[in-house]
């Protein structure tokens, strides 16, 4: 019970500080929301189309564009508002089908369709998507024009025949085969990447900065006073360790359940996700305890804790996905695995991306458990020495 | 090795502790009986806190033994520590917890729980005068209130031995007086108290016996009278008087307990064994000799003088 008393007091003291409430609980959720909104991969690009006054063929082209898979199409009244929407990021691209499009084509004259986008890398892919719809219509128009040229039908009849033939004719089919592994973030839902990377980043960061509380207890003389009570040193150590772990667990569980409920994040196999989170938290708590026992003042621990927490997070793939790191710098990718974050991220990717189970992440769990055991042992040894002099 | 079990609450023998080349404590030993207040009096750096840390099992000792209620106490002891209430020199409370939460936290570490814990917390809050501030965070308290909370934690479990390490340092006079009254009250209730201080007047007021510690050694021990006699100090009485001063001096010089009597221009100077015992007879003798006394000054040798005599330096050096 004394262990729980010491641990509970750690959590109580953490929650007493309002700034802690923000940094430990609110900030991670905000970052997940922001990352999800900025880089989320599940929503389709939005394309606006202006087709008023373009005639039947213009409306036909607009319909063909809206049937293209992988984009979300909306109708716009005029070109100016469409361009403004693209500029402001409300649309990824816009297509302007000019007035008189139908008449011009029937007169066998050339027509220019305007494609509007921001100078993003994705613009070219979107243009190709729109091109495919225009090309499809263009093929029918050329066939109709050929028939009209033969003098066997007028344009409308010829176009109708061409459409019938197009439906009846089996065209070429391109079969897609994928090789290698996908970039992690491309396969994830809007919030998944942010959720597990921020979970690991913040749980570790909080454990680092939380080491200051352990130092404060020593500086305040409370730790020494605990020793004057009939409480064995091992109980005090266990209480302090459980306190660090409890803080990490409270924060982590809030992020996990919060993102699942608010953002629909799927954490994959519950057993695997729980095991990964638990062993990672143990390691983070162990590092926090080691720092709390080693440093002499809380400012020192707080400053270095933030540096180590963010540094390890950045190196370990919480800011730059490991799959990208692996392609652009295999050396950096290998170095990243000195951090527990890299192992934690790969475990979560296996669970979330590939539907893996706890059996598929035994290596990651073993490494994280070994890391936790080593740092916990070091932390307990240092803290015992600091307490008992 | 065991304690003698002769009603002593605390026995410590031959305590030694060195930090590198510095011998901080060098063979300290004393005992405290039930209801007795023992003062460890010495200047800063004399070894008081180091001795207390070893007695309370906070610091590994190089040599020596400590027994509380006849049970040996070391850093690893659990049972013997239950009988000790430790009040450190520096505040050892969580500033971000309320008075009640601080008391409950340490109460649980002392093994209290449930209704017993709640009752003791409420009782201690009353004793230390913080019942009406029990739900305020301790960092909102004045220095004196924090000190009282610091002491209250040591009282929670009803210890047989209360160890107070300079509890009035940096405390305002009103809070200081309240603390001293509390200690006096606890002593009358049978609690053994070990009280360290470098304030001579606190030791004289509170302590049944005093150990004077300097350079890690107890250089003298006893009650105030014993210590004064140990160094041969005597009480001085100065009388402002008029009339036949030479006759008055001659008249009182022969009284029992009067060691010296001399007339001066405006009165008499006397050296006596005990001013309290002889003052009435002296005043009577002077009046009978034809002199008129207008004022009396009594100068009793104090522990400051004893300390100066024993160590060659003042307590606050």
Structure tokens at A5: 């008393």
Task: Phi first, then psi: give them for residue A191, nearest 5 degrees.
Answer: -110, -5
Q: Considering only CA atoms, which of A29, A41, A43 is closest in space to residue A262?
A: A29
Residues A237, A140: one domain?
no
**pLDDT tens across B289-309, in order?**
889 999 998 887 777 777 777
Residues A50, A111: one domain?
yes
Q: Considering only CA atoms, which of A345, A380, A378, A377 is closest in space to residue A364?
A: A345
Domain boundary among A114, A138, A168: A168
Structure tokens at B281: 């007879």
Chain B interface, mutation test: which of A229, A238, A239, A389, most B Cβ atoms within 10 Å?
A229
Question: A211 is in which domain, residue-wise?
Answer: 2-40+189-388
Q: What is the CA radius of gyration of chain A?
A: 30
Residues A287, A306: one domain?
yes
Structure tokens at B125: 């809050």
**Domains contained in chain A, number:** 2
Tell me whether residues A230 and B105 touch, CB distance under 8 A. Answer: no
Q: What is the pLDDT along chain A (389 residues), one digit of tens a residue?
A: 889 999 899 888 877 877 777 777 777 777 777 766 665 554 678 899 999 888 888 998 899 888 887 788 899 989 999 998 888 777 888 999 999 888 888 887 888 889 998 887 677 878 888 888 888 888 888 888 888 777 777 878 888 887 787 776 666 666 656 565 555 444 455 667 778 888 898 889 888 877 777 888 888 889 889 988 998 888 888 888 888 788 888 888 888 888 888 777 788 889 999 999 999 999 998 888 888 888 878 778 778 888 888 898 888 888 888 877 877 888 888 999 999 999 999 999 888 878 888 999 999 999 999 999 999 889 888 888 877 76
Domain boundary among A133, A168, A203: A168
- What CATH number did the domain enclosing A52 receive? 3.40.1710.10
Q: Determine contact, residues B269/B238, Cβ cutoff 8 Å.
A: yes
Q: Which residue of B has its CA nearest to A235?
A: B109
Q: Determine contact, residues A147/A113, Cβ cutoff 8 Å.
A: no
Residues A97, A217: one domain?
no
Q: Considering only CA atoms, which of B42, B40, B30 is closest in space to residue B164?
A: B40
Residues A117, A226: one domain?
no
Is A80 contained in some domain?
A: yes
ipTM of the shown complex: 0.78
CA distance B282 to B253: 9
Sequence-distant (≥ 6) Cβ neighbours of residue B45 within 8 angstroms: none
**pLDDT tens across A327-377, in order?**
788 888 899 999 999 999 999 988 887 888 899 999 999 999 999 999 988
Q: Considering only CA atoms, which of A333, A369, A44, A364 is closest in space to residue A181?
A: A333
Residues A217, A357: one domain?
yes
Residues A267, A295: one domain?
yes
Is A182 contained in some domain?
A: no
Residues A231, A376: one domain?
yes
H helix count then E strand count, chain A: 18, 4
**pLDDT tens across B118-131, in order?**
999 999 998 888 89
| B212 CA: distance to closest CA in chain A (Å) | 25
- Cross-strand partners of B165: B196
CA distance A273 to A352: 9
CA distance A112 to A149: 23
Tell me whether residues B108 and A5 touch, CB distance under 8 A. Answer: yes
Residues A370, A334: one domain?
yes
CA distance A241 to A263: 32
In B, which residues are within 8 Å of A6 by CB distance?
Answer: 109
Task: Phi first, then psi: give them for residue B216, nearest 5 degrees.
Answer: 80, 5
Closest Cβ–Cβ partner in B86, B95, B109 for A5: B109
Residue-level pLDDT at A330 = 85
Residue B264 CA to its chain's centroid (Å)? 39
The CATH code for residues B234-300 is 3.30.70.260
Structure tokens at A345: 């991220």
Is A173 contained in some domain?
A: no
Closest Cβ–Cβ partner in A12, A217, A229 for B106: A229
Residues A23, A70: one domain?
no
Between the alpha carbon of residue A83 and those of residues A50, A96, A336, B86, the distances in Å are 10, 10, 44, 77
Is A25 contained in some domain?
A: yes
The CATH code for residues B8-229 is 3.40.50.300
Residues A23, A60: one domain?
no
Domain boundary among A168, A199, A215: A168
Structural domain spans, chain B: 8-229, 234-300
Q: Considering only CA atoms, which of A139, A204, A125, A132 is closest in space to residue A167?
A: A139
CA distance B50 to B25: 7
* pTM of the predicted model as reported, rounded to 2 decimal places: 0.69
Tell me whether residues B59 and A389 touch, CB distance under 8 A. Answer: yes
| DSSP SS3 for B63 | strand
Residues A206, A254: one domain?
yes
């Amino acid at each position: 019970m004394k262990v729980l008393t010491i641990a509970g007091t750690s959590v109580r003291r953490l929650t007493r500080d309002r700034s802690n409430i923000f940094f430990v609980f609110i900030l991670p959720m905000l970052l997940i929301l922001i990352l999800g909104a900025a880089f989320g991969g599940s929503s389709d690009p939005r394309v606006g189309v202006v087709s008023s006054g373009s005639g039947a063929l213009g409306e036909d082209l607009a319909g063909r564009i809206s049937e293209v898979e992988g984009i979300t199409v909306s109708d716009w009244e005029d070109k100016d508002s469409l361009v403004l929407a693209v500029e402001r990021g409300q649309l990824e691209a816009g297509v302007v089908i000019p007035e008189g499009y139908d008449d011009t084509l029937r007169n066998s004259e050339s027509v220019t369709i305007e494609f509007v986008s921001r100078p993003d890398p994705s613009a070219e892919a979107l243009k190709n998507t729109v091109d495919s719809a225009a090309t499809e219509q263009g093929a029918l128009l050329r066939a109709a024009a050929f028939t009209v040229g033969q003098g066997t039908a007028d344009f409308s009849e010829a176009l109708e025949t061409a459409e019938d033939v197009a439906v009846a004719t089996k065209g070429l089919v391109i079969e897609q085969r994928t090789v290698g592994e996908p970039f992690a973030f491309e396969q994830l839902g809007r919030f998944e990447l942010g959720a597990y990377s921020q979970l690991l980043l913040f749980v570790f960061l909080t454990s680092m900065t939380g080491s200051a509380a352990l130092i404060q207890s020593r500086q305040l003389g409370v730790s020494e006073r605990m020793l004057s009570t009939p409480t064995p040193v091992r109980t005090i150590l266990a209480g302090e360790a459980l306190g660090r772990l409890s803080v990490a667990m409270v924060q982590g569980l809030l992020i996990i359940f919060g993102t699942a409920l608010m953002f629909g994040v799927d954490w994959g196999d519950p057993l695997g996700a729980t095991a990964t989170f638990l062993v990672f938290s143990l390691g983070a708590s162990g590092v926090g305890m080691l720092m709390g026992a080693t440093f002499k003042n809380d400012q020192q621990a707080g400053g270095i804790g933030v540096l180590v927490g963010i540094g390890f997070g950045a190196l370990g793939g919480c800011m730059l996905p490991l799959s990208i790191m692996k392609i652009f710098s295999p050396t950096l990718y290998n170095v990243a695995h000195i951090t527990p974050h890299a192992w934690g991220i790969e475990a979560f990717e296996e669970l979330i991306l590939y539907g893996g189970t706890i059996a598929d992440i035994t290596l990651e769990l073993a490494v994280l458990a070994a890391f936790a055991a080593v740092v916990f042992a070091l932390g307990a040894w240092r803290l015992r020495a600091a307490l008992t002099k | 090795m065991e304690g003698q079990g002769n009603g002593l609450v605390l026995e410590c023998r031959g305590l030694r502790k060195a930090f590198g080349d510095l011998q901080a404590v060098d063979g300290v030993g004393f005992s405290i009986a039930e209801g007795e207040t023992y003062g460890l009096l010495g200047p800063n750096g004399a070894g008081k806190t180091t001795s207390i840390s070893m007695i309370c099992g906070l610091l590994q000792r190089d040599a020596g033994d400590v027994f509380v209620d006849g049970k040996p106490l070391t850093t690893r002891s659990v049972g013997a520590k239950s009988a000790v209430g430790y009040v450190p020199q520096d505040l050892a409370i969580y500033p971000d917890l309320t008075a009640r939460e601080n008391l409950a936290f340490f109460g649980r570490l002392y093994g209290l729980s449930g209704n017993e814990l709640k009752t003791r917390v409420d009782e201690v809050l009353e004793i230390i005068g913080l019942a009406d501030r029990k739900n305020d965070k301790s960092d909102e308290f004045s220095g004196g209130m924090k000190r009282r909370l610091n002491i209250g934690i040591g009282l929670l479990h009803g210890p047989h031995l209360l160890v107070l390490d300079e509890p009035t340092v940096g405390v305002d006079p009103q809070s200081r007086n309240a603390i001293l009254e509390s200690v006096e009250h606890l002593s009358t209730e049978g609690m053994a108290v070990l009280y360290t201080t470098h304030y001579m007047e606190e030791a004289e007021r509170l302590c049944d016996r005093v150990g004077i510690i300097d350079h890690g050694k107890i250089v003298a021990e006893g009650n105030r009278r014993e210590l004064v006699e140990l160094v041969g100090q005597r009480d001085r009485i100065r009388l402002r008087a008029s009339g036949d001063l030479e006759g008055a001096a001659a008249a009182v010089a022969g009284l029992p307990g009067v060691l010296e009597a001399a007339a001066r221009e405006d009165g008499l100077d006397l050296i006596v064994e005990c001013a309290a015992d002889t003052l009435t007879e002296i005043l009577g003798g002077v009046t009978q000799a034809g002199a008129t006394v207008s004022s009396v000054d009594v100068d009793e040798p104090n522990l400051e003088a004893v300390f100066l005599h024993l160590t060659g330096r003042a307590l606050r050096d």
